[in-house]
A = this chain, B = another copy of it.
Amino acid sequence: MGDGPTGIVMMNLGGPKDLSEVQPFLLELFADREIIQLPMQDWLGPFIARRRTKSVQSNYRDIGGGSPILKWTEEQGRGMIERLDALSPQTAPHKFYVAFRYIQPKSEDALKAMKADGVKRAVAFTQYPQFSCSTTGSSLNELWRAAARTGLQDAFEWSVIDRWPTHPRFVEAMTKTVEDGLTQFSEDDRDDVLVVFSAHSLPMSVINRGDAYPGEIGATVHEVMERLGYGYEYMISYQSSVGPVPWLGPSTEQVVKDLGAKGRKNVLVVGIAFTSDHIETLHELDIEYGELAHEVGITNFKRAPALNGLPLFQDALAEVVAEHLASGEACSLQYGLRCPGCTNEQCRNILHPVAPYRRMRVGANGKP
């Protein structure tokens, strides 16, 4: 055994595991000022959350009564640490902890469990392959706040895995899901398939302040297509936009409509920015856009399986962490780079970093 235990905190959005958790989940989501800014948020946030509860519950009912994200994350975590102990014996034993953003287990739960397990060295490992302030950024800011709330701000030495959009094993695993998705088409139809890589959209205000997300989505997609020998037509689209502000497009929903109008018959949708099935794949893509595709005449509208329990993906997770631990670094160089338009003083912090790192200041005048 090595210098462990090393704690690996797997950070993700999370989802309600049953219908009773839908409202608490929505309340937390609409309270997150780093994602959603509402006028009179303390009042309007809960109002919107409560008003949406029934329809969101109905969506979860359609997919079996809850989100499978905790189940998959735990399976991924088990596979990851098993491989990690072999890959990086000097930091073994490794233990994983789940920190969801809007539902249990939350950052507090992960932190307390790590403390109880005697962890001193902790890695905050985003489960979003491509970085956005709206996803990984919000999760990390919450993690540091939770450490303060629980009095555990001095308990761990931290490093951060903030992005891995082009890690070769991740790309290999994602490519495998596309290949598996393609087997759903007859050999005759396969050449005709258009692969639509769909990622969660972001408001243009986030894009325009300098978020790295769309560039990193482009990078992942091209790496996957290179492995496929650019043998299929493909495109990128963005799903799940809500509300009246402009979001990054093209919208997946509109793309489905337009492809139908143009007579496309074979479409494979690939969730490129999320590693497990969740409401946006199981309901939005499979059910809503599946029905829409049927209406507009796309006869073969299929989705590539999410990474979920794919062993190759557990290899990827373990390799990403092992390489990170071996580097001795606190984070990627990119993590310290604030969005030029950022005004959030919390952004890009690391609590007790394991090594020095450079963080761009807000409104600083000296060398960053």
A221 to B220, CA, bound (A): 12
Contact at A363–B219, with CB atoms within 8 Å? no
Instruction: Encode A214-234 as 1/0 by CB contact (under 8 A) with B.
Output: 111111011000100011111
Decide yes or no whether A19 CB sits under 8 A from chain B: no
A44 to B249, CA, bound (A): 29
Instruction: Encode A18-43 as 1/0 by CB contact (under 8 A) with B.
Output: 00000000000000000000000000
Most buried by B among A217, A218, A248, A264: A218
The stretch among A49-57, A113-121, A177-185, A337-345 that forms the contact with chain B is A337-345
User: By the criterion of a CB under 8 Å from any partner CB, how many residues of chain A are at the interface?
Assistant: 60
Assembly stoichiometry (copies):
2
Contact at B264–A360, with CB atoms within 8 Å? yes
A210 to B364, CA, bound (A): 39
Nearest B residue to A229 via CB reads: B333
Nearest B residue to A165 via CB reads: B222
Q: Which residues on the B side are within 8 Å of A337 (C-beta)? A: 194, 233, 235
Decide yes or no whether A63 CB sits under 8 A from chain B: no
Contact at B226–A265, with CB atoms within 8 Å? no
Decide yes or no whether A367 CB sits under 8 A from chain B: yes
Q: Which residues on the B side are within 8 Å of A336 (C-beta)? A: 233
Q: Which residues on the B side are within 8 Å of A165 (C-beta)? A: 222
Which of B219, B248, B333, B338 is the one whose CB lies under 8 Å from A232? B333
A365 to B260, CA, bound (A): 8
A89 to B265, CA, bound (A): 42
Query: A310-327: which have CB < 8 Å to B?
Result: none
Q: Which residues on the B side are within 8 Å of A366 (C-beta)? A: 263
Which of B212, B222, B365 is the one whose CB lies under 8 Å from A235? B212
Q: Which residues on the B side are within 8 Å of A209 (C-beta)? A: 250
The stretch among A75-83, A99-107, A251-259, A287-295 that forms the contact with chain B is A251-259
Determine how close the nearest CB of chain B comes to the CB of A210; give it in whole angstroms: 4
Determine how close the nearest CB of chain B comes to the CB of A150; give it in whole angstroms: 31
Question: Chain A interface secondary structure, helix, strand, loop or mixed?
Answer: loop
Contact at B333–A250, with CB atoms within 8 Å? no
Contact at A246–B246, with CB atoms within 8 Å? yes
Contact at B250–A364, with CB atoms within 8 Å? no
Decide yes or no whether A61 CB sits under 8 A from chain B: no
Q: Which residues on the B side are within 8 Å of A218 (C-beta)? A: 214-219, 222
A246 to B208, CA, bound (A): 11
Contact at A246–B192, with CB atoms within 8 Å? no
Nearest B residue to A338 via CB reads: B262
Contact at A364–B226, with CB atoms within 8 Å? no
A212 to B250, CA, bound (A): 10
Query: A231-282: which have CB < 8 Å to B?
Result: 231-237, 246, 248-251, 254-255, 258-259, 261-265
Closest 4 CB pairs of A and B: A218-B218, A258-B340, A208-B249, A219-B222
Ordered by A's residue number, 17 sampled pairs between the chains whose C-beta atoms are within 8 Å are: A192-B367, A204-B249, A208-B249, A210-B235, A212-B236, A214-B215, A215-B217, A217-B218, A230-B334, A233-B336, A233-B337, A254-B340, A255-B340, A262-B363, A263-B360, A263-B368, A265-B368
* Chain A interfacial positions (CB closer than 8 Å to B): 165-166, 192, 194, 204, 207-210, 212, 214-219, 221-222, 226, 230-237, 246, 248-251, 254-255, 258-259, 261-265, 297, 332-334, 336-341, 360-368
